[in-house]
Amino acid sequence: IRRYPLPISYNVNRERFDYLLLRHAQEAGAVLLQEARVCSLEVSRDSVKVFTEKETLSGRVIIGADGAHSVVRKAINPKGSMQGQMGIICELKRGENTSHVPEDIYIIDWGTVPGGYAWIFPKEGILTTGAMVPLVLSGSLKGYLQAFLRGQGLGMGGERVLAHPIPTRGPGETISTTWGLLAGDAAGLTDPFTGEGLYYALRSGEMAARWAGEFLKSG
């Protein structure tokens, strides 16, 4: 156990954080299309067409920030292969069964599973718990998290468990072309040791927006 006189980080609710990013994007001029899943792309000499379930959109450049199963990545780098890990998250509500877990401490398990780890992060009213392992060990993922939580006096009841792949870009993997760029999980920009991707998503999104803007100005 290590303690520090000042907080080393702050945890925020993901829904609030995502909404904040969306609001800033809209204030900057972005247009939000909801329930418009991208199905495919069509690239021509001077434009990119995006076919969604509802309509067809076209533009001169596309930034693919469409996650681990990116449609845009498959068009930019059709023969590419991301190194894979798998993660799961389960949120436990604060209450009598979780009151023994301090509100100001992270609990992390390293080394039980090769190349993986498990965690408990306190947030307002909940404990975010989860685990990550290499893709080849994904079958043991839920059992690993359950065993880790039991060791901390916690259990998973009827809570929703969310699984998600964590792609990591290999050396030399293509993440841009003459008509598009990738950002975040679509580009495999995650830390291969921790699986953390939010910082890289934000940073690569800023970079992609800057270079797309330069392209639209100068060609």
pLDDT per residue as tens digits for the range 53-94: 989 999 999 999 999 999 999 999 988 877 889 999 999 998
Contact 112, 148 (CB under 8 A): yes
Residue 156 has pLDDT above 90, yes or no: no
Band of pLDDT at residue 137, cut at 50, 70 and 90: very high
174/76 Cα distance (integer angstroms): 7
- What's the pTM? 0.88
173/181 Cα distance (integer angstroms): 12
Band of pLDDT at residue 182, cut at 50, 70 and 90: very high
Contact 87, 192 (CB under 8 A): no
What is the reported pLDDT for 171? Answer: 87
Looking only at the bridges linking them, the beta strands covering 62-64 and 180-182 are parallel
Rounded to a whole number of angstroms, the CA Rg of the chain reads 20
What is the reported pLDDT for 82? Answer: 78
Query: What is the pLDDT of the chain when averaged over all its residues?
Result: 92
Share of the chain above pLDDT 70, in %: 100
Tokens at 170, concatenated: 């290999």
In this prediction, residues 163-175 reach a mean pLDDT of: 91
In this prediction, residues 142-167 reach a mean pLDDT of: 92
